[in-house]
Structure 1
Amino acid sequence: MAKSVIRRRGKSGSGREGRLALRAAGPSVNPCPPGQIGGAYRPLSEADLQGIFDTALRLLGSLGMGEVPARLADDLIRAGAQQGSAGRITFPEALVRGAIEGAAKTFTLHGRDPARSIEVGGERVYFGTGGAAVQTLDLDSGAYRPSTLSDLHDFTRLQDTLANISWFTRCCIATDVPDIYDLDVNTAYALLKNTTKPTATAFTIADHVAPIVRMFDIAAGGPGEFAKRPFVKAHISPVISPMRYGEDAVDVVFECIKHGVPVSCITAAQAGATAPATLAGFLAQSLAETLASLVMVHAIRPGFPMVFSNWPLVIDLRTGAFAGGSGETAVLNAASAQLSNWLGLPSGVAASMTDAKAIDAQYGMEKGMTSLAAALAGGNLIYESSGMTASLLGASFEGFVLDDEMHSNTYRALRGIEVSEANLAFDAICEAVLGEGHFLGGAHTLAAMERDYFYPSLANRDEPRTWQMGGAEDAWGAAKRRAQEILATHTPAYLTEAQEAQIRAEFPNIR
């Protein structure tokens, strides 16, 4: 449509009507799709990177890891780890470097729809979700209430329509499903039913992995099919800061590797609480802990797909309150992405974790600052980036919609400026100066409009009088209306009747 409008405008020379038509049509090609290249922001110098890495190696080599489950200890020692003092296991530098060298540097996060698969690693940046919000900002009342299984289904099908959320991790906990097995099963089912994007979930205990993988096999087409193209990864925190393993989570890692479920091993230390308050010391310990997860995976099955998810978290040292929207969070997660990429590992960081409870100025400032920093630093997978509020305690439908548009602007910033002979516009400048004296409607301008500019659908760019005449709707109102429209109309059925029947027959606890 946009191209036909351009041709008419070139012939008729009509002014305002042509521009309005072009504005309404928007570009025919998305100027800022997911997967843009990051890495321009480097908060750490080469010497800084080396110093942090060297300290992490010293920590692993001399202090090592505590509370190592016997099963894992055997595998680690066979791989080259050593028995330290006080029951700790230490990792010689050669073992750590070998794990880095042997790690999967890139791998595919499959979607059940192959067109939605993404390649993790390298320099490309993708926004996705995470979180375990126990409260949901109700779309109708505007008040927080306990999150439900119905909310999880609604969040999953809402994000299914949002182009800038490249994978979906369950963002809330269904507090109305108290049994942990029922919770894990119903969470996995919600992902299968409502989206074909790459997804992620958590397994409360290792015994839940095998039956849920059977559910994935049903959706994939039969026994063993899921492992051929795994479309769900597991979020696991096998390290408990400071510097020890958690047995239940380690058991989940073993089961996921056994069943071919890619893992995102998440370190989530808190500065000043479970890690040093100094940002450099924090990064050294957090890197050591995430490397301990990598060595664990390497000892179990070398090269198994693992997202190196080093998530620095910050608390307000005056009160102990989580500070997910702070400047310290922004620079730490950017530095973490830089460190991971420097090591050549697929990086996962957390951003857009606003502490705001409402969709307000604090929300916009904190989300924009932290997510842009993580993206510019080249975080391959940016978790928690959509819909999360209230220091990760809350999730918002309006937030999902607003954040999706924010990500488009971030991707546009990442795309940068293409300098070429044509783009330098020498001829266009001469033509405008010697001709009509402006660039409106020129072929060079219209081509750039189609190719280079993002046009928001929620952010309002009208002048005040036009905005007031249109009802003076604010961003929260526009996002709420959009979310309501999507939830009223988008009811996907990504499971066939046969798959649905087979899942319900084998899992009668599905709600």
Structure 2
Amino acid sequence: PKNAEDVLDMCEILFGKDFLETHAVTTGNCNGNSPLVWDQVMLGAMRAFCRRNQPVLCSPFVLGGANTPASTAAAVAQLNAEALSALAYTQVIRKGCPAIYGHYLSTVSMQSGAPMAGTPEISLMNFMIGQMARRYNVPWRTSNLLGGAKIFDAQAGYESAMTMMAVLMSGANYIWHSAGWNEAGMHCSIAKFVVDAEVCDMGYRMTKGIQWDDFDEALAAVRDVGPGGHYLGHPHTQANFERAFFIPKLFDNNSIEQWYADGSKDIKQRALEHARRLLAEYEEPMLDIAKDEELRTYIDRRSREIPAVDALNEEY
């Protein structure tokens, strides 16, 4: 709870107390201890965020088969009860404060006990949770582009793509864990991070749906070109080619001859080169000098006040 208060104090310094009352500037993530427990640490943090009118994620942490029943439907039933109890509690703290139906989904290997990501059951859970959240008319959060692979390989891509499609189709409102996640979230791949960012761009394009604003002009082009022609030089193509179809930056769609000419680089090589360019070109956003000094003063004071880790260990 005190850590949450520190975060919110710094947000108040940066944005102002009145601004926090009417705007979401940070999000608290409170994980339940499944099965069926909300501990005092998480509830204390939840109270801190709700009192400042900042949104909190009420997030049961699902390890399917370990802390939930080994059943997709029953796991969602338990998760739903846990999430709803926390959502209700936020309104006891402060009626009308923002809160989000949250969760973290994984299944557990019945062979090794290791958490798994990108499995069909996780997608099915997302479909069910999306339906439940809409039934209660509350926004909901899920995770995206997670995989169980240990490196950025085909497994990582397949699992991540399967998860993302389910997340998009289930209508999630707030999506976390969308870039770089491997080994069910245990480590981050820089190469996967930048590729996932492009995949998220593709997903965002897909959720915008079909564009109809140029439909009549496009059909007119069919009449103009007629049988056996091509559209490359048509005015409609020239006016719309940049927005008509998604143009990836990291995925290679050239001919194999062009791919050879460009150095036969696989996606990991291209991704790491792109990441290095991003880091080289990065410009740190600057804070207002007075706000920056006030924040640093607060951090210095709290660093002196917070007991050292060793002292805490000795106490316990």
TM-score, with normalisation over the residues of structure 1? 0.56
User: With CA pairs under 8 Å and 6+ residues apart, which has the higher RCO, 1 or 2?
Assistant: 1
Determine if the alignment matches structure 1 residue 232 to structure 2 residue 51: no
Q: Which amino acid aligns with 1:354?
A: G
Aligned partners of 2:123 and 2:167 also within 8 Å: yes
Q: Count residues in correspondence.
A: 302
Q: Which among 390, 409, 434 is matched to residue 202 of structure 2? A: 409
Which consecutive residues of structure 2, in runs of 5 or more, have no partner in the other structure?
305-316
Distance of 2:210 and 2:17 partners within structure 1: 49
Q: Which amino acid aligns with 1:219?
A: L
Determine if the alignment matches structure 1 residue 365 to structure 2 residue 158: yes
Q: Give 3-state SS (helix, strand or coil) of 2:284's partner.
A: coil
CA deviation profile, 1:38-83 (whole Å, cap 9, x unmatched): xxxxxxxxxxxxxxxxxxxxxxxxxxxxxxxxxxxxxxxxxxxxxx
Cα displacement (A) at 1:321 = 1.0
Aligned partners of 2:217 and 2:236 also within 8 Å: no
Q: Which amino acid aligns with 2:59?
A: I
Q: What RMSD over aligned residues (CA atoms) do the two structures have, in Å?
A: 2.1
Q: Give 3-state SS (helix, strand or coil) of 2:102's partner.
A: strand
Match of 1:473 in 2: 265
| Distance 1:411-1:493 versus aligned 2 partners, 3 A rule | closer
Q: Which among 176, 179, 189 is matched to residue 386 of structure 1? A: 179
Match of 2:124 in 1: 331
CA deviation profile, 1:261-307 (whole Å, cap 9, x unmatched): 32111111221111111111111111111111111112221221011
Cα displacement (A) at 1:400 = 2.0
| Distance 1:414-1:208 versus aligned 2 partners, 3 A rule | closer
Distance of 1:234 and 1:419 partners within structure 2: 39
Match of 1:218 in 2: 13
Q: Which among 274, 284, 288 is matched to residue 482 of structure 1? A: 274
Match of 1:64 in 2: none
Q: Which among 269, 276, 292 is matched to residue 500 of structure 1? A: 292
Distance of 2:233 and 2:280 partners within structure 1: 39
Distance of 1:462 and 1:367 partners within structure 2: 24
CA deviation profile, 1:91-133 (whole Å, cap 9, x unmatched): xxxxxxxxxxxxxxxxxxxxxxxxxxxxxxxxxxxxxxxxxxx
Match of 1:449 in 2: 241
Distance of 1:381 and 1:230 partners within structure 2: 13
Q: Which among 233, 248, 252 is matched to residue 41 of structure 2? A: 248
| Structure with the largest fraction of helix | 2
Distance of 1:276 and 1:467 partners within structure 2: 49
Distance of 2:252 and 2:212 partners within structure 1: 30
Cα displacement (A) at 1:421 = 8.3
Aligned partners of 2:150 and 2:183 also within 8 Å: yes
Distance of 2:208 and 2:20 partners within structure 1: 35
Aligned partners of 2:147 and 2:156 also within 8 Å: yes
Q: Give 3-state SS (helix, strand or coil) of 1:507's partner.
A: helix
Distance of 2:140 and 2:7 partners within structure 1: 26
Cα displacement (A) at 1:393 = 0.5
Aligned partners of 2:147 and 2:184 also within 8 Å: yes
| Distance 1:272-1:492 versus aligned 2 partners, 3 A rule | same
Q: Give 3-state SS (helix, strand or coil) of 1:314's partner.
A: strand
TM-score, with normalisation over the residues of structure 2? 0.88
Aligned partners of 1:324 and 1:352 also within 8 Å: no
CA deviation profile, 1:475-495 (whole Å, cap 9, x unmatched): 111111111111122131332
| Distance 1:417-1:507 versus aligned 2 partners, 3 A rule | closer
Match of 1:265 in 2: 58
Q: Which amino acid aligns with 1:497?
A: I
Aligned partners of 1:398 and 1:480 also within 8 Å: yes
Aligned partners of 1:213 and 1:226 also within 8 Å: no
CA deviation profile, 1:18-47 (whole Å, cap 9, x unmatched): xxxxxxxxxxxxxxxxxxxxxxxxxxxxxx
Distance of 2:90 and 2:280 partners within structure 1: 43
Distance of 1:263 and 1:251 partners within structure 2: 12
Distance of 1:412 and 1:224 partners within structure 2: 36
CA deviation profile, 1:441-468 (whole Å, cap 9, x unmatched): 1123234423321101111111111111
Q: Give 3-state SS (helix, strand or coil) of 1:245's partner.
A: coil
CA deviation profile, 1:296-334 (whole Å, cap 9, x unmatched): 112221221011113332111221111112122222123
Aligned partners of 1:337 and 1:347 also within 8 Å: yes
After TM superposition, list the pairs within 5 Å mapping 1:280-291 onto structure 2. 280-291=73-84
CA deviation profile, 1:377-412 (whole Å, cap 9, x unmatched): 101112212121121100122222111111122223
After TM superposition, list the pairs within 5 Å mapping 1:78-97 onto structure 2. none
Match of 2:93 in 1: 300
Cα displacement (A) at 1:420 = 7.2
| Distance 1:215-1:440 versus aligned 2 partners, 3 A rule | same
| Distance 1:330-1:423 versus aligned 2 partners, 3 A rule | farther
CA deviation profile, 1:145-192 (whole Å, cap 9, x unmatched): xxxxxxxxxxxxxxxxxxxxxxxxxxxxxxxxxxxxxxxxxxxxxxxx
Q: Give 3-state SS (helix, strand or coil) of 1:312's partner.
A: strand
Q: Give 3-state SS (helix, strand or coil) of 2:164's partner.
A: helix
Cα displacement (A) at 1:224 = 4.9
